[in-house]
Each structure stands twice: as structure tokens, then as C-alpha cells.
């Protein structure tokens, strides 16, 4: 190791693990976006809050920027280190610290994978209900940094609802213990919520106290085939009126075709334009009868064309795979991802307008629509045609996103529902947040990260 800054780091944080191999720099320097060439200075793997604090203080002394790093499953470039930053990986801070049965909380280090937190909660007869497909790799810290949503938001809300306490190291190097697991706390600004969704731009989340809830009820999974998206919200209403919904997800036939080509099993003999997968509580016969009543109501009114109910856990997993397998099935097409939100009530109008606009202006692209329709959150993936150069593709996709941003402005929506702004959506932040709001955000950053060292260039340019 020859870089004097790294020598100084090792002197400041004794025993710190550092990686500088080219393969490690590449591995830790990028996330799932794959668009930027990773080029970090090095990767630091702290083992304690004190180590993290030492790293941040060193950054302030040397001026080296930091990129906090969890499972790097993000899709907005929030964890990319392409400019000589030090990657601060929480990978080694992966311990479950404490469970409290009275408070119903689980304290974890930030590098604990989401699935490990879920399993720890389950081992105590409770649940951590935040859930999404990358649960095995994504970390609790990363999910807090993006206020991750996922497939159960319709029932449980976003990550934000489940954070009872946070320990953070600010960009100024201070350790803050925020909210300390309290249920009620009306003592001034709730700084905890500033860090939820801050994408590593204010400091590093090092520990979290998570709220837990009752274990989920027994559930069934139903897959529905729909004739058009215009009926989507009516189907949602029919099911929500009659059942406790744990998830209500949507995808198109195009999405299904890709998942089937990737090895999933076809659910119906025929193809249909749109699909919904819903999971609902079914503790007793009454609830199962209600599910059938919802289905029959939809069938009689032409809102659904076909349906299948899971008869076993294995079949439920098979039906979920049709939805959860979409991202993986599309990966080989290097999709350009959009993750938009509108109010649920605005969803049909937004869908109609943007589908028509995209078909008219960009017929050269295959566009895959899917997402968390019960939350008003759509993932609009534009697939790269094999023959098109990557740069030309990205340039055109940026025009597509501009078009979406315009529609979002008209419908009062958001350019990022759950993936964050990162690098990918930075040019479109103003379609969602006013100039005055962005100015306030910059002011907050200035206070917590006065030297602009925390994940610079992400969300906005300081
Ligand atoms: C999902 O809902 C994830 O499956 C990924 O948020 C979405 O790949 C995407 O665009
Ligand atoms: Zn999603």
C-alpha cells in the first residue's frame, strides 16, 4: 500500500481492514446499475461504530469522499464509487445486537442482511415486515438509506415506519443516537427521519432498532388475469373491501413472457394482457369465502378473465416467482429503470397517458411495466435492443425519463418511489421537489456534512 492517505487511515483507525485489489475495487465500487466504471481509492471494512467515526474524521482531514455501502442491490447508482472515493462497507458490521420482547424491537448493526433481520424476528415469534426480492443481499442499513418499500407496503408501509431508533455517524464525525427506540417522542425535530431515505449523503447509518410486529397470518396467494389496465383499480377495490391484503402486485404479459423464458412455469394455458398477484390473510373459511366472492364479483363484471389460488406453500412460491423474478429475468437486456409513484387514485390516468405516449414516441423500445399497484408505484423498465449501442440507448432512455417526469409533474407524482435518486434520477429531482425544497435539503446537508464528503454527487450536486 503506497498511497499516503491510506497509510494515514490505518494509523488513525488501528486494525481497520482495507481492500485495494482491482477485483475488490470493482466489486465494491458498483451497485446493480452497472452503468458507471467503478474507481474507488480503496474499500474500508470497519468493525465498530468507533472505526466508522475514525474513518469519517480521516475523510474530513484528508478530503477523501466516502461512499457508504451495504448490499449494493440499489438500482439508482446510490452506492457507486467512480471518482476515487473510499467505499465504507458495512459488511463486517453484520450482528444482530439485541431483541426486546417488551418493546418488541430488534437492534441490529447496519450490515445485517434484510433476510437475517426477518429470520431473527421470526425466531422470537414476531415479524419484521419490510420485504422485497433482494432480501438475501440487501442490508438493513441500505434499506433505511433508501426508505425501501417492497411487496408488503400496501399492508405495512415503508421502511420508515419500522425504524424505532438509529445510530448514525454524521458527515461531521459526530455519533448521534436518534429516538432510542421510543414510541412517543415529541421533543423537537425527529432527526431519525432525515437519515431514512438520505442515501448516505448526510452520514452513515451504523445501527438500527427495528420495530417488530405480530407474525403474519396464514395467507393464500391468488394470480388474476385482467383484460385491461383500466379495470385494475376496480379489482383492487373489490379485493381490498373484502380481505386483509398483504400484497397487491401487477405485471404485464410482456413481463410474464420474460419470466417464463427465464424458467418459470406458465400459470394459465392462454395468455392475457395484464396480471395481478395478491396475497391475503386466510385464517378461516369465512376469509376464503370472501376471497372467492371477490374473485366471482370480478369475473361476473368482466374485471378478470381467469385466476388461480395457491394450494400449497410451494405453489404460492411459484406464483410469487412470476412477479419477484422479473428483475432477474430482464437483467440480460440491461434495462433502463424507472421507479415512479403517483397517488393510487391517479394511477389509471397516469398509466393511460404514459403508455400511449411511450408507444407513440418510442415504438423502437420494448417497455416492461410492473410494480406495487396497491401503493401507486410502478417500475417501468425500458429494454435495450440488442443491436443498439449502450450510450445511444442511455441517451434515448434519458428522454423517456424526461417524458415520464413531465407526466409525473402533471399528476403530482414522484420520480423515485422506493429506489432512491442516486445518480440515475438526479437530473429529474426537480420534477418531484420544488426549488425551495431542494434548497432546504442542501442546507441540511451543509449542517450534517459541512465538507461535502458523504456520497457526493448523489441525489443533488452540492
Ligand atoms: C421490484 O419491485 C424491485 O421488483 C425492482 O423494486 C424493480 O427491477 C425493477 O425495476
Ligand atoms: Zn419494487
CA distances (Å), origin 38, targets 12, 22, 86: 26, 10, 11
Q: How far is the CA of 429 from the centre of ligand 1 (A)?
A: 20
pLDDT band at 274 (very low <50, low <70, confident <90, very high): very high
Pocket perturbation via mutation, ligand 1, pick of 31, 132, 259 by most ligand atoms within 8 A of CB: 132
The alpha carbon torsion through 50, 55, 56, 61 (nearest 10 deg) reads 130
Centre of ligand 2 from the C-alpha of residue 151, in Å: 7
DSSP label at residue 333? G
Residue nearest atom 6 in ligand 1 by C-alpha distance: 150
What is the phi-psi region of residue 113: left when phi exceeds 0, alpha when psi lies from -120 to 50, beta otherwise? beta
Confidence of residue 462 (pLDDT cuts 50, 70, 90): confident
Is 58 in contact with 13 (CB distance < 8 Å)?
yes
Ligand 2 centroid from CA 251, angstroms = 11
- C-alpha cell of residue 66: 466516502
Architecture of the structural domain at 96-211:
2-Layer Sandwich (3.30)
CB 218 within 8 A of CB 184: no
Using a 6 Å CB cutoff, which residues line ligand 1?
A: 75, 133, 327, 337, 379, 381
- Measured in Å, residue 134 CA sits from the centre of ligand 1 at 9
Question: Which ligand sits closest to the CA of 375?
Answer: 2
How many other CB atoms sit within 10 Å of the CB of residue 230? 13
Instruction: Looking at the CA of residue 339, tell me the nearest atom of ligand 1.
Output: 10
Could you identify the atom of ligand 1 that is nearest to the CA of residue 379?
10
- Pocket test of ligand 1: the residue of 327, 374, 417 to mutate, having most ligand atoms within 8 Å of its CB, is 327
pLDDT band at 283; cut points 50, 70, 90: confident
**Domain 219-327 in this protein, CATH class:** alpha beta
Mutate to test the pocket of ligand 1, among 78, 114, 133, 324 (most ligand atoms within 8 A of CB): 133
pLDDT surpasses 70 at 71: yes
Q: What is the mean pLDDT of residues 56-77?
A: 98
Of 151, 152, 128, the closest CA to residue 140 belongs to 128
Residues in CB range of 22: below 8 A, 6 or more apart: none
User: pLDDT class for 1, splitting at 50, 70, 90?
Assistant: low
Ligand nearest to the CA of 380: 1
Tell me the domain boundaries of the chain.
Answer: 4-92, 96-211, 219-327, 334-436
Rg (CA), the chain: 23
List the one residue out of 91, 123, 124 whose CA is nearest residue 109.
91
Q: What's the gap in Å between 327 CA and the centre of ligand 1?
A: 6
CATH class of 334-436: alpha beta
Rounded distance from Cα 327 to ligand 2 centre (Å): 9
Atom of ligand 1 lying closest to residue 372 CA: 2
Instruction: Look over the chain and give the mean of its residue pLDDT values, rounded to a whole number.
Output: 97
Three-state DSSP class for residue 81: coil
Same topology between domain 219-327 and domain 334-436: yes
Per the DSSP assignment, residues forming a β-bridge with 18 are: 44
Ligand located closest to 73 CA: 1
Pairing label, strands 86-89, 42-45:
parallel
Long-range contacts of 181-189 (CB under 8 A, 24+ apart): 181/100, 181/103, 181/105, 181/107, 181/209
CATH 3.40.50.740 fits 4-92, yes or no: no
pLDDT tens for 320-367 read: 999 999 999 999 999 999 999 999 999 989 999 999 999 999 999 999
Whether the CB-CB separation of 326 and 380 falls below 8 Å is answered with: no
Contacts of 157 (CB under 8 A, 6+ apart): none
Q: How many whole angstroms from 344 Cα to the centroid of ligand 2?
A: 15
The answer, yes or no, to whether residue 232 has pLDDT greater than 90, is: yes
Amino acid at each position: 500500500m503506497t498511497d499516503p492517505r491510506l497509510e494515514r487511515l490505518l494509523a488513525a483507525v488501528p486494525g481497520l481492514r482495507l481492500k485495494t485489489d482491482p477485483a475488490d475495487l470493482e466489486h465494491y465500487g458498483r451497485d446493480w446499475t452497472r452503468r458507471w466504471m467503478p474507481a474507488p481509492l480503496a474499500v474500508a471494512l470497519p468493525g465498530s461504530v468507533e472505526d466508522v467515526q475514525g474513518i469519517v474524521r480521516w475523510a474530513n482531514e484528508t478530503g477523501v469522499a466516502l461512499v457508504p455501502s451495504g448490499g449494493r442491490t440499489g438500482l439508482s447508482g446510490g452506492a457507486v464509487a467512480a471518482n476515487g472515493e473510499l467505499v465504507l462497507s458495512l459488511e463486517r458490521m453484520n450482528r444482530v445486537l439485541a431483541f426486546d420482547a417488551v418493546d418488541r424491537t430488534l437492534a441490529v448493526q447496519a450490515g445485517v442482511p434484510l433476510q437475517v433481520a426477518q429470520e431473527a424476528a421470526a425466531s422470537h415469534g414476531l415479524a419484521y415486515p419490510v420485504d422485497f426480492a433482494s432480501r438475501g443481499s440487501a442490508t438493513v442499513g441500505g434499506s433505511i438509506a433508501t426508505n425501501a418499500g417492497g411487496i408488503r407496503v400496501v399492508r405495512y408501509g415503508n421502511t420508515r415506519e419500522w425504524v424505532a431508533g438509529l445510530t448514525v455517524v454524521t458527515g461531521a464525525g459526530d455519533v448521534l443516537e436518534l429516538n432510542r427506540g421510543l414510541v412517543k417522542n415529541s421533543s423537537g425535530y425527529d432527526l431519525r427521519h432525515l437519515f431514512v431515505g438520505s442515501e448516505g449523503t448526510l452520514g452513515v447509518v451504523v445501527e438500527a432498532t427495528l420495530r417488530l410486529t405480530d407474525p403474519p397470518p396464514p395467507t393464500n396467494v391468488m394470480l388474476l388475469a385482467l383484460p385491461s389496465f383500466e379495470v385494475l383499480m376496480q379489482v383492487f377495490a373489490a379485493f381490498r373491501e373484502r380481505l386483509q391484503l398483504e400484497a397487491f402486485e401487477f405485471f404485464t404479459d410482456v413481463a410474464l413472457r420474460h419470466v417464463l423464458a427465464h424458467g418459470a412455469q406458465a400459470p394459465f394455458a392462454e395468455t392475457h394482457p395484464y396480471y395481478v398477484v395478491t396475497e391475503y390473510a386466510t385464517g378461516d373459511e369465512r376469509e376464503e369465502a370472501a376471497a372467492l366472492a371477490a374473485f366471482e364479483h370480478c369475473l361476473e363484471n368482466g374485471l378478470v378473465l381467469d385466476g388461480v389460488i395457491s394450494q400449497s406453500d410451494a405453489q404460492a412460491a411459484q406464483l410469487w416467482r412470476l412477479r419477484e423474478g422479473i428483475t432477474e429475468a430482464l437483467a440480460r437486456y440491461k434495462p433502463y429503470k424507472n421507479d415512479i409513484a403517483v397517488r393510487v387514485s391517479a394511477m389509471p390516468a397516469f398509466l393511460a397517458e404514459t403508455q400511449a405516449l411511450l408507444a407513440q414516441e418510442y415504438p423502437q423500445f420494448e417497455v416492461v411495466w410492473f410494480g406495487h399497484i396497491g401503493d401507486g408505484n410502478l417500475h417501468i423498465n425500458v429494454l435495450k435492443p440488442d443491436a443498439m449501442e449502450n450510450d445511444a440507448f442511455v441517451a434515448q432512455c434519458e428522454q423517456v425519463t424526461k417524458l415520464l417526469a413531465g407526466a409525473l409533474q402533471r399528476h403530482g407524482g414522484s420520480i423515485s418511489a422506493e429506489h432512491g435518486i442516486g445518480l440515475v434520477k438526479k437530473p429529474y429531482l426537480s420534477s418531484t421537489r420544488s426549488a425551495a425544497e431542494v434548497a432546504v435539503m442542501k442546507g441540511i446537508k451543509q449542517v450534517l456534512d459541512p465538507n461535502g464528503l458523504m456520497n457526493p454527487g448523489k441525489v443533488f450536486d452540492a
